[in-house]
Amino acid sequence: MSSKSKALGLALAALVVSRGFAQSPLSKLKLDSGKEVFEAACISCHGKDGKGAPESMTVFERPATFPDFTDCNGAIREKESDYRAIVYYGGRARGFSEIMPSFAEALTSDQIYKVVGYLRTLCAEPGWPRGELNFPRAFATEKAFPEDEDTLSTAINTSGTPAITSQLAYEKRIGKLTQLEIVVPFSADRVSPGSWIGGIGDIHAGLKRVLAQNLRTGTIFSAQGEIAMPTGNRSRGLGNGVTIFEAFGAFGQALPGNSFVQIQAGMEFPTNTNTLPRAAFWRTALGKTLAPDHGRGRAWSPMMEFLADRDFQTGARTKWDILPQFQVTLSKRQHIRADIGFQIPVNQRTGRSSQLVFYLLWDSFDGGLRDGW
């Protein structure tokens, strides 16, 4: 079959399916459960078991990203609100295949809630953290949820010595509860007018594990251990010159009205305390997600972070910063996001600059960089 014939077949299939459901009286039927809605509206494409109907039984060629609702790794990590947006508006509205039609006219809002709730039960393996516990990533506060995210973060001094500090963070989920993280920092400092020094800093590698989660209370807690290797040049200000072991806990809590709080607290243990003292840190992010139009458009998440760091040495005082910011989804699929904010020292300002901060985030599990626009 030629590519032109394939495209025509997909378009005709989408037209037949969407018109059929739009004219269906499903919303007028007495469908009391999500299973009944699924069997009445969905099994012709998604199959009775949720794995997808055989291609021989469908009138369209199945897309490469056709969902399997029994696959816990793929189905459970997404929020119910994301599924409802796709059911309500169709696949095209969220950057997926146009074969998925809109059910806005075929189903009531209550029926859409019920069928999405039923889809969540098709994952038979317990213990997978639900997407509702995956809160937006703040700039500095580590998330408790294990993810597949690649993030490029940058901080630019807006006062004092001009400097640009960036880091590339690679996060890879392993199974249901574990995440591998590798962070490569790099920076550039102006040492004199027209002269800059830059390079790679100390590379970090860490392992996160979810220890507790509760969907009913909206709570998730994880612990992470990591090592910072002295790969940077300390004499040029690109590293600490000593291996550092770090341990911290990360906590996330859902609040009413799509609000949330995330807390990270931990300690750093350098192998040579004559070079670098032990230190403790505490970070808190408060935020709220705004997703107008039933989640069809961009999601906006204004956040405020409170950051504290303290060295364990004589005369040391706790350093406090505040970091107002907001995150916004860029792609229709919401897997490409950006965050921008401003980090402001509250005390101990000598030698500490205010910074313009921002990041670009790619949730690689949900699609490629060019997908979902």
What domains are defined for the chain? 3-122 (1.10.760), 131-366 (2.40.160.40)
pLDDT digits over 6-34, tens only? Answer: 333 333 334 334 444 444 555 555 677 88
Q: Where are the alpha helices (DSSP H) in the chain?
A: 3-22, 34-41, 43-46, 72-75, 80-89, 109-119, 292-295
Pair 328, 298: CB distance under 8 Å: yes
What pTM, to 2 d.p., does this model score? 0.85
d(CA 56, CA 44): 11
Phi, psi of 24 (to 5 degrees): -70, 140
| Residue 233 token pair | 């040049």
pLDDT attached to residue 155: 97
pLDDT attached to residue 26: 57
pLDDT attached to residue 50: 87
pLDDT digits over 221-232, tens only? Answer: 999 999 999 998
Q: How would you classify residue 241: left for phi > 0, otherwise alpha for psi between -120 and 50, otherwise beta?
A: left
Low-confidence ranges of the chain (pLDDT < 70): 1-30, 56-60, 62-64
d(CA 169, CA 149): 8
pLDDT attached to residue 28: 57
Residue 303 is which amino acid? M
